[in-house]
Amino acid sequence: MTAPAAPSISRRLAAVQAPIIPVVGAWTRNTPGTLSLGQGMVAYSPPASALAAIRDFGQQAEQHLYGSAFGHPALLALIREKLRHENRIDAAAGVEVMVTAGSNMAFLNALLAIADPGDEIILPLPYYFNQEMAVRMLGCTPVGIPTDSAYQLDLSRLRAAISAKTRAIVTISPNNPSGVVYPEAALRAVNALCRDFGLYHISDEAYEYFTYGEARHFSPGSIPGAERHTVSLYSLSKAYGFASWRIGYMVFPEALTPSLLKVQDTNLICPPLISQIAAAGALEIGSEYCKHQLPELAKKREQVISRLQPLKGLCEIPEPEGAFYLLIKIHTDKSDLELAKTLIDDFKVAAIPGSAFGLSHGCYLRISYGMLDQAQLDAALERLVNGIIRFAG
């Protein structure tokens, strides 16, 4: 007898790219001794105040119950204070705050609240791959818009890309994967474009503290009138070494509250309380904790730029102003996925291919320097340079 057909899988999910980090992670684990310039994390741990805050967690009966969909009141109070002082966003004036399980969840929540299948979301290239994946998962269309040679926004192209189906323009500054920081003027222009065309401006600010030199972070949600059309996303994963705790938050127009409550109650019910209490302990220390780590990251940034100099002529190497990434373009007709696999197999160093970020024309690699100490980083860069020269030379 013929075996019955297997149940079908979602066509929408079949069209979504495989998440590149687990793919490269598996290649790395299968090649012992590989040094990773791949996943975007920091090497430092959460502040002691975060761990101290949960030392006695579970002793109170109410700590085992469902909480508010918006988040734990003590954490929300600290977030609102932080928004006022650091981002110049008044969370009492036309906007609401919701704690999420990381800013990836906040992005997905926002899309569910503002878009329908067939709608378009504008993503400047290179985009953050998880955001492009989220757009496709919801049956929407990601519209990738090229940036200039330094990965800065091209406002004329953004304007030209707006159609009757457009629902939002997304910006990430400081940027993943390029490390660029968008100037205040550019972000103001995008926000005005969204206002004029009746769109949402989704501003991803997960790397807000990671800037170097003269670069400065700017929050579009601080612009007068922006509260009606701006969704701002934040995360503790990088700044506080909180990657596994999954705590982010979003600031959004009050009009989206009923929709976002439906999404949150269905998907999460409420953010995990133990993570929120730890987050409150971290925010009581504040951004100085992250800023104390920046000199070390700045040294690593200079180390990366210096060690890549032998690749000049073979690669384009823009100098990043933020985050802890550098995106290089290799002058070769070979694929970046092939290069990434070769670097792991033959040179024991991992990096992320640019095709995962929507860079389909050319061979790009994202280098992440946040996780390794300086000695490991030096060894990884030596392997990288030798591998690229062998591959593309």
Q: What's 310's domain CATH number?
A: 3.90.1150.10
Assess contact for 386 and 378: CB atoms under 8 A: no
Domain of residue 322 covers 11-44+293-392
> Is residue 114, in this structure, part of any structural domain at all?
yes
- Residue 198, domain CATH: 3.40.640.10
360 and 212 within one domain: no
* DSSP secondary structure letters along 8-53: P--HHHHTSPPPHHHHHHHHHHTSTTPEE--S---SSPPPHHHHHH
pTM for the model stands at 0.94
Assess contact for 125 and 147: CB atoms under 8 A: yes
Domain count, the chain: 2
> Is residue 190, in this structure, part of any structural domain at all?
yes
> Is residue 131, in this structure, part of any structural domain at all?
yes
Assess contact for 359 and 335: CB atoms under 8 A: no
326 and 215 within one domain: no
- Note down pLDDT in tens along the chain; length 393 residues: 677 888 888 888 888 888 887 888 888 888 999 999 988 889 999 999 999 999 999 899 999 999 999 999 999 999 999 999 999 999 888 999 999 999 999 999 999 999 999 999 999 999 999 999 999 999 999 999 999 989 999 999 999 999 999 999 999 999 999 999 999 999 999 999 999 999 999 999 999 999 999 999 999 999 999 999 999 999 999 999 999 999 999 999 999 999 999 999 999 999 999 999 999 999 999 999 999 999 999 999 999 999 999 999 899 999 999 999 999 999 998 899 999 999 999 999 999 999 999 998 899 999 999 999 999 999 999 999 999 999 887
115 and 99 within one domain: yes
71 and 21 within one domain: no
> Is residue 26, in this structure, part of any structural domain at all?
yes
Q: How far is CA 380 from the centre of its chain?
A: 23
- Give the end of a domain, one of 227, 253, 287: 287
